Amino acid sequence: MKTKDLAVGEQQKEFFIDDENRLAAYEQWVPEWKEWSAKLKIKKRTLEKYEEFFELFSRFEKEGETLEFVYGTGLFTWQHPDTKIGAIRSPLLTRINVRK
């Protein structure tokens, strides 16, 4: 909605969609922003994991003799023949000895 001739002091409303150049720039910007946003999410998740591992590393440095580091590499699932027992699920584990 555009009005060309306005009296002095009169205000004009302009909507985002009123300017074709602005719309074209926005339509070009959105895919670029989505790509940037997706990359940023990956970077943030990576940083969060780094911080978690650094915190673990720091704990091992301080309490290495009292801590054991174990991580899962998969999930073992077995359907027991006895329906009262049902499925058995257990992480497949790998133990790491941390020594200086």
In a domain, 9, yes or no: no
pLDDT digits (tens, 9 = 90+) for 53-99: 899 888 878 876 777 766 667 888 889 898 888 898 887 766 666 55
In a domain, 60, yes or no: yes
How many distinct helices (H) and strands (E) make up the chain?
1, 2
CA distances from 74 to 65, 71, 91, 95 (A): 27, 9, 6, 13
pTM over 0.75: no
Say how far apart CA 28 and CA 42 lie, in whole Å: 23
In a domain, 1, yes or no: no
For the chain, the domain total comes to 1
Instruction: Find the domain containing 51 and state its range.
Output: 16-96
Residue 27 pLDDT exceeds 90: yes
